[in-house]
Structure 1
Amino acid sequence: MKTNSVKIFLSVVIIVSVVSSWAHYSVKPIDKAMWLIGTWENKTSRGSVYESWKKINESELAGKSYAVKGTDTIVFETVKLKQEGEGLYYIPTVRNQNDGKPVSFKAYTITDYKMVFGNPEHDFPQSVSYTKVNADSLVAEISGVKNGNVRHQTFPMRRLK
């Protein structure tokens, strides 16, 4: 009787371990960012700025921020949103900044509706966040200290496609 109880107990422990391990690894941090995919618009007093995201592979999204002036597209920045191990990184390359080199921000908050990335060593911003308001609306924000002053900028966007 004891042998059967031990076998049943061990079987249950193994099954629970496998299922919880599978559940833990089935949702990767990058999976929680898939709602970004598409084209978003931020209307400003000087015209619209767009942010477009696409899936590159299972561990990376690529984004770009740009404006359209007549027939010209002016790209302000390109971004990689990349999963490395258990970490998620926001890696922008901004035109005319950082000698054209990418800067890495590590995610420290990842939920189904919000991602916050930080790099305390960067001049400005030190924090970048995306908050999903609903399926067709988000708010991007950059914040940090610049010239001794705390600053932040918000960019409300609506989904175009």
Structure 2
Amino acid sequence: MRTFLCLALLFLGGVMPLAQAAEAVPARLQSLAWLLGSWEREGLREGSSGVETWQVVGDAFVGSGKRLKGTTVAFEEKLRLEANGTDVFYVADVAENPQSVRFRMVEQAGTSAVFENPAHDFPKRIAYRLEGDQLVVVTSGDGREVTFRFKRVAASR
């Protein structure tokens, strides 16, 4: 009985914070939960690596992206998915932009989502889609297109 009680308390202690976190996220974001986790970039030159991570923080999904050359950070961005009324925005903070750049979600179906900001220089469009265990991100605008492929990183236990 004592073992059962201890296991029940451990289970509830672990599940309740997750349930509370999920409740804080607006329904418009819950449909994008497939994006949560850590993703390792594929197809980079030897000696380079990249990762994108997403997690629930309050009522938003907060992410980050990094590309490394060896152990040196070559590129870094802070990302955020936030609901604002009926709209969802992808918000990117990168060193070369003095302010955050906001992209409004214009399409979402199953495990794909498209965000646009026609006023931004590049990219104007960011499309995410899940293909099996691979995350494909396509940035595009003004006749230019760049595709990034990521593989889900198993959570450490």
The alignment's TM-score, normalised by the length of structure 1, stands at: 0.72
- Alignment of structure 1 residues 1-161 onto 2, 5 Å: 28-43=27-42, 44-46=44-46, 47-57=48-58, 59-68=59-68, 76-95=76-95, 97-99=96-98, 101-134=99-132, 136-145=133-142, 150-161=143-154
Q: Report if the CA contact (8 A) 1:131-1:138 is conserved.
A: yes
Q: Report if the CA contact (8 A) 2:49-2:70 is conserved.
A: no
> For residue 157 of structure 1, what is the amino acid of its counterpart?
F
Change (3 A) 1:64 1:105: same
- Note the residue ranges of structure 1 that are not aligned, 5 or more in a row: 1-26
CA distance in 2, matches of 1:30, 1:41: 22
Q: Report if the CA contact (8 A) 1:28-1:86 is conserved.
A: no
Q: Report if the CA contact (8 A) 2:104-2:116 is conserved.
A: yes
CA distance in 1, matches of 2:61, 2:137: 16
Q: Which residue of 2 aligns with 1:4?
A: none
> For residue 48 of structure 1, what is the amino acid of its counterpart?
S
Structure 1 residue ranges, 4+ long, deviating more than 3 angstroms after superposition: 67-75
Q: Which residue of 2 aligns with 1:17?
A: none
CA distance in 2, matches of 1:40, 1:75: 16
The alignment's TM-score, normalised by the length of structure 2, stands at: 0.74
CA distance in 1, matches of 2:107, 2:121: 21
Q: Report if the CA contact (8 A) 2:36-2:53 is conserved.
A: yes
CA shift digits 1:65-114 (9 cap, x unpaired) = 0134555556510011001111110000012x222x10100000011211
Change (3 A) 1:84 1:140: same
Larger-gyration structure (1/2): 1
Change (3 A) 1:37 1:138: same
CA shift digits 1:105-147 (9 cap, x unpaired) = 000001121100000000111001100102x2110110001xx
Percent of counterpart pairs with the same letter? 30
> For residue 121 of structure 2, what is the amino acid of its counterpart?
D
